[in-house]
Structure 1
Amino acid sequence: MVSIKDISIKCGVSIATVSKALNNHSDIAEATKENIKKVAKEMGYFPNSYARALKTNRSYNLGVLFVDDTQSGLTHDYFSHVLDSFKVEAERSGYDITFISKHTGHKNMSYYEHSKYRGVDGVVIACIDFSDPGVEELIQGELPVVTIDHIYNSRTSIISDNVKGMKDLITYVYEMGHRKIAYIHGADSSVTRNRVGSFYKTLGELGIEVPDEYVISGIYHDPDSTAKLTKELLKLKERPTCIIFPDDFSCIGGINAIKEHGLRIPEDISIVGYDGILLSQVLDPKLTTLQQDTKSLGRCAAQKLIALIENPKASIIERVVIEGKVLPGKTVKKLN
């Protein structure tokens, strides 16, 4: 393995000069710097991350804690895009990522223990049961932490504007003439509470009273449970003219239930999704949905976490809100 010492001998300069050149220091001549880099490349030199960690007391490794209710992992359309954006920004800043879990080989560890075991510099937490004691332990620890779509008073959080997102969706559906609007929402979480609260608040401001049977608790990213709950809504004597589903992926179950009932979308009943994943735009008819800005969510989470790591003395607890936008598809009928 080629070392800095080998390069210094080849170039006839000190080890310190080689180190400065490879780290782009400004106190050596550009010609010298370029020559050293050229020789290093020709000799097949690659920086040693372990050596860098010893020198900087950082691993340049970010932990990612991500476990959703349906155990979908990286097949989760929405969060996979958030995490991809996080990864791109982390790598651009010179960081790798490691997934945090409670299991490493045959060892069982807490999330905090695994984070320390892997030596990560900080952790981003997304799509998990935030009431889990293991999550609480991690958040209360000394590692820098940023949360996505959940607010902790002591930690920086990056959240989608679920209140405005739901308001914009309801307003669109209302302007299309609908007054009987049902909502199958996801499992209890801060995201769900904000969306449900905004659902009731917006309709209340529009002068619409929502029957209790129009709002049903379901599961995010679960077409099977959504299909079952859709069938319950379709059996109502005063069935809704529009159903809002927990997310775009869950919509598949709702669509199948509607078709099994012999109804057409949107001629007989309208539907709306949430997230704006690619699937929503290739369905026929194209799904009306709220597109969340996954690129901004992931990028911002990485930037804030790296800032906490690299400049801890200037740390400020922030709550960054990222807005989405309505994608008007073809699944909401215009009523007279």
Structure 2
Amino acid sequence: MVSLKDISVKCGVSIATVSKALNNHNDISEATKEKILKVAKEMGYYPNSFARALKTNRTYNLGVLFVDEAQSGLTHEYFANVLDSFKVEAESHGYDITFINKHMGLKKMSYYEHSKYRGVDGVVIACIDFNDPDVLELINGDLPVVTIDHVFDNRTAIISDNVKGMRDLITYIYKMGHRKIAFIHGADSSVTRNRVGSFYKTLNELNIKIPDDYVKSGIYHDAETTYSLTKELLALKDRPTCIIFPDDFSCIGGINAIKDMGLSIPDDISIAGYDGVLLSQVLNPRLTTLKQDTVALGKNAAIKLIEAIENPKASIIERVVVEGQLIPGESVKKLN
């Protein structure tokens, strides 16, 4: 392994000068810095992460805590896209990422304990159950933490604008002539509460009253549950003309239920999704949905977490709200 001493001998400078060049200090000339960097690259020098950790008291490693109710892991396209954006931004700042869990081999430990064990500099939390005691332990610990789609009083949160997103989606469906609008929402969370609240508030503003049977409690990213609930809605004597599903993936269950009942989309029943993942745009008919800005969500989470790590005294608690975009598809029929 190439050392700083090897580079100093090759360049004819001190080890201290080599260190300054590699760390981009300003008290050496640009010519010297360029020469040292060139030689270091040619010799195949890579800085030792353990040495850097000892010097900076940081590991340049960010923890990622992601647990969704459906146990879908990174097959959950929405969160996978958010975390991919987070990873890209973190790596651009010189950070690696480590997934946090409750197991270390056969040994069980809390999320906070695992974070400490791995020595991460901070953690981003993107999960459904923010009431989990282990999550709360991490939130109230001494590590910098940023949450995605959930607000704690003592932590910075990156939030998708679910209130405006649902309002935009319903307003579009309304303009397409629909008044009998049903909603299958996900499990209880701040995201769900905001979407459900916006659903009812927007309908009230549009002077639309719907029966309680039009609103069903489902599970995010769970096609099987959505299948059953869609059948319940279609079996109503006065059934809706349009159904909004919890997310684009779970809408597959709704589509299958509609087809199994001999109905077609959108001629017999209109549907809409949420998230705007790639799947929504390859379905036939193309799904009307609300696309969440996963790139901005992940990027902002990384930026705010790194700021909290590198400038703790200047760190402030923020709520970064990221707007989505309505994508009109072909799954909502225009009614006269």
Fold conserved between structures, TM > 0.5: yes
1:147 corresponds to which residue?
147
| Cα separation, 1, equivalents of 2:185 and 2:324 | 18
SS across alignment from 1:302: helix
* Residue identity in the other structure for 2:305: L
1:308 is displaced (CA, Å) by 0.3
1:249 corresponds to which residue?
249
| Cα separation, 2, equivalents of 1:130 and 1:43 | 48
| Cα separation, 1, equivalents of 2:92 and 2:144 | 19
Shifted more, 17-26 versus 115-124: the winner is 17-26
2:6 corresponds to which residue?
6
1:220 corresponds to which residue?
220
2:179 corresponds to which residue?
179
> Contact conserved, 1:160 with 1:322, CA < 8 A, in 2?
yes
Q: Deviations 1:1-49 (Å, cap 9, x if unpaired)? A: 1110111122111111000111121211122111111221222211111
Q: Deviations 1:286-324 (Å, cap 9, x if unpaired)? A: 000000000000000000000000000011100111000
Report whether the alignment pairs 1:161 with 2:161. Answer: yes
TM-score w.r.t. structure 2 length? Answer: 0.99
| Cα separation, 1, equivalents of 2:251 and 2:95 | 36
| Cα separation, 2, equivalents of 1:19 and 1:225 | 59
1:128 is displaced (CA, Å) by 3.1
> Contact conserved, 1:121 with 1:144, CA < 8 A, in 2?
yes
SS across alignment from 2:224: helix
1:194 corresponds to which residue?
194
1:60 corresponds to which residue?
60
Aligned pairs, how many? 336
Report whether the alignment pairs 1:281 with 2:303. Answer: no
| Cα separation, 2, equivalents of 1:22 and 1:268 | 66
Report whether the alignment pairs 1:128 with 2:131. Answer: no
| Cα separation, 2, equivalents of 1:229 and 1:216 | 7
Structure 2, unaligned runs of 5 or more: none
> Contact conserved, 1:245 with 1:251, CA < 8 A, in 2?
yes
* Residue identity in the other structure for 2:328: P
TM-score w.r.t. structure 1 length? Answer: 0.99
SS across alignment from 1:306: helix
2:77 corresponds to which residue?
77
2:35 corresponds to which residue?
35
1:325 is displaced (CA, Å) by 1.0
1:163 is displaced (CA, Å) by 0.5
SS across alignment from 1:248: coil
1:317 corresponds to which residue?
317
SS across alignment from 2:250: helix
1:254 is displaced (CA, Å) by 0.2
Report the RMSD for the aligned CA atoms in angstroms: 0.7
Structure 1, unaligned runs of 5 or more: none
| Cα separation, 2, equivalents of 1:127 and 1:210 | 31
* Residue identity in the other structure for 1:242: C
Runs of 4+ residues deviating >3 angstroms: none
What is the percentage of aligned positions where both structures have the same residue?
A: 79
1:112 corresponds to which residue?
112
| Cα separation, 1, equivalents of 2:306 and 2:122 | 8
